[in-house]
């Protein structure tokens, strides 16, 4: 079980900042946080709780690794299109920053496809361990 603070900005996915509690790769609890990306759009806060917690499953550590891997694969297959920036926590190894634009430099030329840009940040990982009962 772990807890992690994440924020995401994307035009085609849920946008906001959340404190996630994840158990067995499933989100079991979520709290909205003040959204650091909201000021980019000139609003106070974008975070809201979706009706279904599974709508936030793409924000878990494993899902973010998969998203980064897919973006890196796409970049290596079409480096003239994609742009990707990935940072990892130096101690725990989880993705702390993922910025990806599937259309790369084309997004700057054609406003209609600018919604392909995706930003994700993660911080403050807390891993909960359960001591093993000895002597039972």
Per-residue pLDDT of 66-96, as tens digits, reads 988 888 877 666 655 667 889 999 999 999 9
Is residue 136 a part of any domain in this protein?
no
Tokens coding 86: 């990935």
Number of domains in the chain: 1
Tokens coding 80: 């003239």
Tokens coding 28: 């079991």
* C-alpha 107, offset from chain centre: 21
Strands 117-127 and 26-32: unpaired
Is residue 74 a part of any domain in this protein?
yes
- Tell me: pLDDT of 113 over 50: no
Is residue 132 a part of any domain in this protein?
no
Other CB atoms within 10 Å distance of the CB of residue 45 = 14
Is residue 113 a part of any domain in this protein?
yes
39 vs 48: CA distance, rounded Å = 16
Best CA proximity match to 95, nearest among 4, 14, 28, 1: 4
Task: Provide mean pLDDT across the span 20-49.
Answer: 74
pLDDT mean across residues, the chain: 76
pLDDT level of residue 37 (50, 70, 90 thresholds): low
| 40, 41, 45, 48: CA torsion to nearest 10 | -120
Domain with 61, as residue range(s), is 2-127
Q: pTM of the prediction?
A: 0.73
| Contact status, residue 59 vs residue 8, Cβ threshold 8 Å | yes
Is residue 83 a part of any domain in this protein?
yes
Is residue 72 a part of any domain in this protein?
yes
């Amino acid at each position: 079980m772990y807890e992690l603070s994440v924020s995401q900005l994307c035009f085609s996915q849920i946008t906001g900042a959340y404190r996630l509690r994840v158990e067995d790769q499933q989100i079991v609890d979520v709290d909205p946080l003040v959204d650091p990306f909201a000021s980019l759009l000139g609003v106070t806060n974008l975070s809201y709780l979706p009706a279904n917690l599974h709508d936030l499953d793409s924000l878990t550590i494993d899902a973010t690794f998969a998203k980064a891997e897919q973006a890196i694969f796409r970049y290596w297959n079409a480096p003239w299109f994609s742009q990707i920036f990935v940072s990892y926590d130096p101690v725990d190894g989880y993705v702390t920053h993922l910025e990806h634009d599937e259309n790369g430099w084309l997004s700057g030329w054609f406003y209609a496809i600018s919604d392909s840009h995706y930003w994700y940040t993660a911080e403050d990982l807390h891993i909960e361990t359960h001591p093993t009962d000895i002597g039972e």
